[in-house]
Amino acid sequence: MTVKLDGKAAAAAIKADLADRVARLKEHGVAPGLGTLLVGADPGSVRYVAGKHADCGQVGIRSIRRDLPADASEAAIADAVRSLNEDPACTGFIVQLPLPADVDQDRIIGLIDPAKDADGMHPANLGELVLHLDGWPATPLPCTPRGVIALLERGGIDLDGKEVCVLGRGITIGRTIGLMLARRDINATVTLCHTGTRDIAAHTRRADVIVAAVGSAGFVTPDMVAEGAVLVDVGVSRVWDGQAGRWRIKGDVDPACYPKSSAYTPNPGGVGPMTRAMLLENVVSIAERRLTA
């Protein structure tokens, strides 16, 4: 029987636990705050940032927004990052990606105070992830791969010794999830496919788990999937629905693949809610570490 891995339900349980942790922090005079820096009005980014702040309200975390126009200069964006670094009300923050094409994204991420890096994407925090083969480092972790792993664990899926095929090498998940899955306590074998891979289907057919993060609607088709594989759909595309007269969110995995799978994450409603939950988890953990330091 195929199992749907419900990210909304798992995220709700995580947020309930976080609300208790936030309440305990406030008893000690600590009020966690999440900051966001949004440049421009990309519909997906606007919706995602709004969701993050709605999540904050559910668990009792203060919301701090910095919104800049799409034509903001790199200097203005850098100043906004420094402002959040220096804001004592901001426990951790994220720079919503993508940034405008003429902005050096790596430089902006590098300006974030690593101790306030709620997305776990600062080079120093990624370096800590590289160094730790056993256990998690005491630094923020990348939210999307952490959310994927948490959702699989809650679904009772054991990755020990499993073949995991990751599609896409973006910074959000493709280049980091392999580091997390290859830790000794998870112990998966990871193959990373990208635009230079000659025969992607040959790799996916061998996989016990496929993590699709290419941002191409319906990229993974039934002929690419082994019977009983686990399908994790991370990619997001906006596709025009002519009959409904509106845009719809579509994932990388064609729903026709689901009957062949042993488990799958719906899209939307799978990895997305877990990514946002892990962002809150990072902020709360940062506050807890400061309290006990």
Residues in the chain: 293
CA atoms 176, 182, 184, 185: torsion sign = positive
Instruction: Say if residues 91 and 116 touch (Cβ distance below 8 Å).
Output: yes
Beta strands 263-264 and 230-233 are parallel
> Known binder of ligand: residue 230?
no
Residue 170 known to bind ligand: yes
| Distance between CA atoms of residues 44 and 56, nearest Å | 19
Three-state DSSP state, 192? strand
Is 236 among the annotated ligand-binding positions? yes
* Residue 96 designated active-site: yes
- Which residues are CB-contacts of 151 (< 8 A; sequence separation ≥ 6)? 5, 7, 10, 232, 265, 270, 271, 274
Calculate ∠ Cα 175-146-239, nearest 5°: 70
The one catalytic residue among 55, 117, 119, 252: 119
Catalytic residue flag (residue 119): yes
Question: Cβ-count burial of 218 within 10 angstroms (0-12 exposed, 13-18 middle, 19+ buried)?
Answer: middle
User: How far is Cα 244 from Cα 229, in angstroms, rounded to an integer?
Assistant: 32
Is position 246 annotated in a ligand binding site? no
Residue carrying structure tokens 């993590």 = 211
Q: Choose, from 55, 96, 233, 252, the residue flagged as catalytic.
A: 96
Binding residues for NADP(+): 168-170, 236
Q: Which residues does the annotation place in the binding site?
A: 168-170, 236
Residues designated as active site: 52, 96, 119
